[in-house]
Amino acid sequence: MATMPPPLRRAAALLLVVLAGVLASTARADLVISKADRRVDLTSHIVRVLASLKVENVGPDPVSQVLLAFPNIQAKNLAAIRAFGSEGKVKGQSTVLPIQVVQPSGAPPELTFFSALLPKPLEKGKTLYLDVLTVFTHSLQPFPEEITQAEAQLVVYQDSAHYLSPYPVKAQTLAIRLPGGRVESYTRHPNAKLVDSELKYGPFHDLPPFSYLPVIVHFENNNPFAVAKEVIREIEISHWGNVQITEHYNIAHGGARLKGEFSRIDYQSRPYVRGVSSFRHLIAKLPPRAHSIYYRDEIGNISTSHLWSDSMKTQLEIEPRFPLFGGWQTTFTVGYGLPLKDFVFYSDGKRFLNITFGSPLEEILIEKLIVKVVLPEGSKDIEVSAPFPTQKWQEVKYSHLDIVGRPVVVLEKPDVIPEHNLYFQVYYKFNNISLLREPLMLISGFFLLFVACIVYMRTDMSISKSSPSYLAKLQWDEVQATVQKIQGIFEQCLAVHDKLEASLRDLSRTGDIQSCKAARKAADAQFKELSKDLKPLLTTLHSSPQSYQIWPKVEDLIAKEREMQEKLMTRHSTVVDSFEKKLRGQDVENRIALQQQKIAALRQEVESLLEYISEI
């Protein structure tokens, strides 16, 4: 027999004790299961069990329900249960049977009972063919719970080789389908047989009610254990022709936790050996006419995805930024658009959305799924029809150009599996006139904007020309224009100064005294002409009341420039006179040294005053 982990061993022992005490008190003698064939699918981390039962009524009275029993340790992980039945000597067309939780009299609290309600009572001697599909989550326990990067993942599954039922069972078999790979151990009974990747137990005959024979299988399962801690699925309806789907995922690897360090080099060189227990991608099957598909996370768009589409389906392969090992998790967002006419219909005065409830990702367990249906603004009389129980409430969402907000229907359900990916409906009333609300708001907004622009352009917003502030502004503008002209004259004076300096340099180089005198004479004429142009400007500036700040600086500038002009002309005469007397160069330098220093200082002061006046 396989080595059983301690928690499973204690649970099995407790269950055997409980069942031994309830065989007589809870047995139902009206029905007999003449044949029970069970098939357990362990190829995924979601366990699916299909029980095909042949039920006979051997009692005197008609029976309207069939009880289904599960241990509490197994029922707490039950995510979905469905029953299909057909009455007759041979198995025919099956109908879906309603399922509800019941508590039969005398039933122990360690067992959970469900009742499959028959469409009509099963008469004495009649036969019912019943197929029961049960789906369990968290039923595969990693053992060991931690593995290294290079190790394969081993899991343990516990069940009963006998079909646990409140009715006697004449004949039964059990077939367990494994994912392939290594089978570490399994419970060996005399009629147990492992063929390829299928483990078979039975047949068993003439078993009493609540017969239980523990079975434990320890095997390798490296398929993706994709567990979403939370998924928020938003479905936004726009009657302009689109249904926008946005899905926010927080996915973790629910298998054996990674022990030790992760080596990217080893993983990339041998990914199927050095990362066999991880998974790198997920498959999402979208509706065939999905468009505008994107896949991103908090960083931005994720380019490691592949899309295939045809007339029957659209398949999106999602590859996270890094491989997921046990205990690792990642978050991302998937969005796409759908044609409105494929999912929103009209019936009996109401529109209704008909779309699937769950996630399009394959073989994913969602521990908490929140579906938000955002209806157009103005929707009313909202009703929801779901194929299974959910928590429901309503919210309001505000988007662009909304006034009262858009009604949002919120559905929440725990432990959602692919079997829950069924169609649900949201019914609501919506007036087509409401479609014109946003266009009319835009048209009105632009119209008012244009009217405001026309009024603004035709309105005289200027200050009155007789107001003191307007007159002061005109005076200040006149002062600025005058100052600019004065600055131009002084800059011309400085240019004449530079020409005089250049004539002295030419004199020392060529000795042409006549040319130097002609340059001085021309400069003197230019100075007189500039002084003549300056007088009316100074008169205008002095007479303006707005020039009180700048006038002292202008007066100082005039005095400094005239002094520099006089010093420069004196120095020019001294140099020319020295050249006529044929004095030595050193003697000439000595005669003009003090004048040169004074001229340089005055030049610097004049330029500083010009810069100051320009800033004002």
Give the domain CATH number at 346.
Answer: 2.60.40.1730
**Crossing angle, helix 468-510 and helix 551-580, to 10 degrees?**
10
For 443-489, write each residue's pLDDT tens digit: 988 999 999 999 988 886 665 566 677 777 787 788 888 888 888 88
Q: Which residues are registered as beta bridge partners of 51?
A: 38, 132
328 in the same domain as 287: yes
Number of domains in the chain: 3
Q: Same domain, yes or no, for 304 and 414? A: yes
pLDDT attached to residue 27 = 47
Report the alpha-carbon distance of residue 31 to residue 125 in Å, rounded.
10
Is residue 40 domain-shared with residue 177, that is, in the same domain? yes
Average the pLDDT over each of 186-200, 328-342, 520-534 and give the range with the smallest value.
520-534
Q: Are 181 and 78 found together in one domain?
A: yes
Q: Is residue 496 part of a domain?
A: yes
Q: What does the radius of gyration of the chain's CA atoms come to, in whole angstroms? A: 48
Fill in the amino acid letter for 524: D
Burial 54-85 (b: 16+ CB within 10 A, else e): bbbbeeeeebebbbbbbbebbbeebbbbebbb
> In terms of domains, do 212 and 247 share one?
no
Instruction: Find the helix or strand (DSSP H, E) in which 600 lies.
Output: helix 585-615
| Same domain? 426 vs 530 | no
Contacts of residue 521, defined as CB under 8 A and 6 or more positions apart, other chains included, come to none
Task: Identify whether the C-beta of residue 230 lies closer than 8 Å to the C-beta of residue 250.
Answer: yes
Q: Angle 468-510/513-543 helices, nearest 10 degrees?
A: 170
Same domain, 241 and 378: yes
Q: In DSSP terms, which residues pair with 332 in a beta bridge?
A: 249
Inform me whether the pLDDT recorded for 155 exceeds 70: yes
Same domain for 163 and 36? yes
pTM of whole model > 0.85? no
- CA nearest neighbour of 357 among 445, 179, 231: 231
Q: Does residue 487 share a domain with residue 415? A: no
- Dump pLDDT digits (tens) for 60-99: 889 999 999 999 999 999 999 999 998 887 787 889 999 9
> With contact defined as beta carbons under 8 Å apart, do 161 and 193 qualify?
no
- Asked if residue 588 is part of any domain, the answer here is yes
Distance of CA 295 to the CA centre of its chain: 9
Is position 25 within any domain?
no
pLDDT tens digits, 486-529: 888 888 888 888 888 888 778 777 777 888 888 888 888 888 88
Q: How many CB atoms lie within 10 A of CB 369?
A: 22
Closest CA to 380 of 346, 409, 401, 416: 409
CATH of the domain at 574: 1.20.120
The stretch 583-607 carries a mean pLDDT of 77
Tens of pLDDT, residues 354-396: 999 999 999 999 999 999 999 998 899 999 999 999 999 999 9
Identify the domain boundary among 177, 192, 219: 219
Q: Judge if 142 and 238 occupy the same domain.
A: no
Confidence of residue 1 (pLDDT cuts 50, 70, 90): very low
Listing from the earlier edge strand, what are the strands of the sheet with 214-220?
141-142, 154-160, 214-220, 183-186
Residues 415 and 492 in one domain: no
Q: At residue 586, what is the residue type?
A: Q
Mark whether 190 and 231 lie in a shared domain: no
Domain of residue 166 covers 30-219
* pLDDT digits 0-9 by tens, 25-51: 444 558 999 999 999 999 999 999 999
523 touches 566 (CB < 8 A): no
